[in-house]
Structure 1
Amino acid sequence: MTIHPSSSPSLSPSPARSPLRIGLLGSYGGRNTGDEAILMCVLSCLRAHRPDARLVVLSRDAAHTRTHQPEADEVVDWEGVPQKPLLDTLAGLDLLVLGGGGILYDGEARRYMRLVNAAHERGVPTFAYAVGAGPLREGDDREAVRTVLPEMTDVVVRDEESRLVLEEVGVDRELTVTADPALLLTPEPFTEQMMRQEGLPTDTRLIGMSVREPGRAAEKLDEDDYHALLADVAEFLARRLDAHVVFVPMERQDVRHAHGVLSRMSAPDLGRILHNSYSPGEILGFMSHLDMVVGMRLHVVIFAALAGLPVLPLPYSGKVFDFARRTGAPALVGVAREQAGLLLAEVDRLWDEFPRRRADLTTRVRGLQGLSRETCARCGFLLDSIDGGAAGPQRTADLHLHDVVTPSAP
């Protein structure tokens, strides 16, 4: 409609909208390098779409997040705190972003779903940002996921394994599969001085290795069994390639398990453990010093693939198996001592054949990065709908994705 000056001589300018307040809820502040990498990438995505937005991170350790995530404008503790201030924080958001990363599993899913449901009750739209799911066997977690997830504005999962888990639970809604947000992480320099401080040789090959603790997300691991298996692999690589093995901890508990593997090696002097604290970007930068990676931690495997290294994922869970499949890496069926012969044969073949596989890995990783950008774009479309884009300026708690963006095939 055209408004003529004669019919409306004194038009007041529209009041400026306040910057959006966007909350991020995930396994942040838990001192896991992979989760921190995810948070960095999600914050970067949101900042790119809304430079003036107020980014509010709900953290397990607010002090840690404030120190290590400078893109966050506010950080709020959400564990062991009074509920009213936390619920007031949720009520003041324009959007709650759940994830990314593997957060929907037994013992944890119900806690995240409780906060997402509280956001829904306060009229706040919600977006699941490439989350991972499974295992989900406990009744309370399954029920929470089955009832709350369908009410979210959009749900994006990071792999097919997660979609299958959620479908098995009974989640009745469209689920879009993209890829892990950390695939868009930018490397930072890991300098020669850092190498010297870690006592790492610079005149020999270095093989990266990642171990982890058994637990709910890795419930099938037998500690003694896989320590012995990885000791066999480390010994083989050190001698086969005239190399040193460097253990890359992603959590504090990983250091103990790295020592467990070293203690079973007949030549532990050929192994080292990174002891200092590094940012996710620096760990990604460290990959440039390595010649090969054998990894249990998903994000060590992701970082190795980003660096274009030959990488053998050790699939203790579906998410690692799924990433191995998507990158064309050898996809073993488990981590058990009786599989030592198969594992050694695979790692030997990987080293010999990688020059021919390199171009294929590069192509596959670029494709996964494109899927990671798709998650960011979908979140951007939702933000547009909230602050005056496709759906207008009103609150959009009951907005469904087809009103925001046409879904693309996973």
Structure 2
Amino acid sequence: MKKFVISGFYGLGNTGDEAILEAIIDNLREEFDNPDITVFSLSPERTAKEHNVKSVYRAWRKENKEKVKALKEADLLISGGGGLLQDAYPTKFLFGPLPYYLLIVLLAKLCNTKVMFFSQGIGPVTSGWGKFLMKLANLADFITVRDQYSKELLHKLGVTKPETVVTSDIVFAFQAKEDRSGIESLPLKGDEKLVAVSVRPWFDRTQQFEDMAGVLDNLIEEEGVTPVFVPMEGHHDVDASEKVMSYMKHPDKTVMLGKDFTPNQYLNFIGECEMTIGMRLHALIFSTLKGIPHIGFSYDKKVESLLKRSGMWKYSADLDNIDVKQVTENAKAILHNREAESLTVSKNAEGMRNEAKRNLHLMKEKFFA
């Protein structure tokens, strides 16, 4: 029996990260016979129950002996996936995502356990302390990243010792289960032209909310769409969605999906829509998986990288340069040519699904051959 420890941003209610975890666990069980899996989670009881795994509290406040025990017994620490190694959020000495995840890696190596950075997106890393800490990433035995930009950034930051391979986000290997709870929860007649909308807070910036409102009002007036806000990180995205509505002329023509659905339920809901307009990376990944054409507002290189791979970058915009009139025209072009655009997205999704599965194949080849 192979034993794995999974370290990531788990148990905090972020749909994208929970989708990553579900995809890793499902694919480990597909590739290995009855694997023993322990997840470091901020909500260990919930994580253990939802995924039928062992779980240890992820932060340093407690259960440190349990962390060490799990790592000592593991065949492999899976660090990832997702954007763990970045200092966009405050990083002070040992506080922040970058020192946390790298210290877990250091602890694993002290326990003589192999380490794989798994399907990660790297950066931004701009602080002097962050760049210094990144040298610890050379402790990894093998790295897969979800885009070429991440590989190039690792090399620029001096992470050159482990072999690094570009694959794709493991959520492209998400194993969907049929569930219509999302759409059935909404007060719909059934003939609406649904557009999934995903917005998130991004530091103190608000212009994108006003821009999104303008685009949605235009599409309501000119195309008769029904925008449905999909809050993929609880109250944070609910608040952001309400800010967009506060700028709209027609907020009464919009709908808000509940904030407590599972990744699988959000995925299936997005699959019921005509298109997606959004910021959240995994809302755009869900759209790609379901062959739903999409427009992204890119606030980070990871979003731009995904949109280029899905074939939708030509319709999308950088967060700081959103032209409401142009984005409206792009959305109308997608709606009027939806079948062809859906085929493009589906074809590109298949390639990324194969690349996502490659994360597991490479793991087996490097550590369990």
Q: Shared fold (TM-score greater than 0.5)?
A: yes
Equivalent in the alignment of 2:357: 373
Contact 2:56 2:66 in 1 (8 A): no
The answer as to whether partners of 1:200 and 1:272 remain within 8 angstroms in 2 is: no
Question: 1:7-406, aligned counterparts within 5 Å?
Answer: 19-70=1-52, 72=53, 74-79=54-59, 80-106=61-87, 107=91, 108-146=97-135, 148-173=136-161, 174-191=163-180, 194-215=182-203, 222-223=205-206, 225-252=207-234, 253-331=236-314, 332-336=316-320, 339-384=323-368, 389=369
Which shifted more, 287-296 or 319-328?
287-296
Give the letter aligned to residue 188 of structure 1.
Answer: K
159-168 or 344-353: which moved more?
A: 344-353
User: Deviation string for 1:295-321 (max 9, x for gaps)?
Assistant: 100111011111111211111111110
Structure-2 residue corresponding to 1:16: none
The CA deviation string for residues 166-222 of structure 1, in whole angstroms up to 9 with x for no partner, is 12212113321100000111333343x65343323422111100001114xxxxx71
Percent same amino acid at aligned positions?
25
Instruction: Provide Cα deviations, 1:241-282, integer angstroms capped at 9, x if missing partner.
Output: 211100011101100000110111111111111125211111
Deviates more, 1:35-44 or 1:373-382: 373-382
Q: In the TM superposition, what whole-angstrom CA distance separates every residue of 1:74-131 from its partner, at most 9, and x where no partner exists?
A: 1001212253332232222221111011111113122100110111112100111101
Q: 1:83 to 1:276 in 2, by over 3 A?
A: closer
Counterparts of 2:158 and 2:23 in 1: how far apart (Å)? 30
Deviations 1:40-74 (A, max 9, x none): 1111122122223210111122123123223x2x1
**In structure 2, what is the Cα distance between the partners aligned to 1:203 and 1:353?**
19
Unaligned 5+ runs, structure 2: 92-96
The answer on whether the counterparts of 2:304 and 2:313 sit within 8 Å (CA) in structure 1 is no
Q: Hey, which bits of structure 1, 4+ residues long, moved more than 4 A? A: none
- The CA deviation at 1:32 is 0.7
Deviation, structure 1 residue 383:
4.1
CA gap of 1:93–1:35, structure 2 versus 1, over 3 A, is same
Provide the alpha-carbon RMSD of the alignment: 1.8
SS in 2 for 1:289: coil
Q: TM-score, normalised by structure 2?
A: 0.91
Structure 1: which 5+ residue stretches go unaligned? 1-18, 216-220, 390-410
Name which one, 1 or 2, has greater alpha-carbon Rg. Answer: 1
Aligned residues: 357
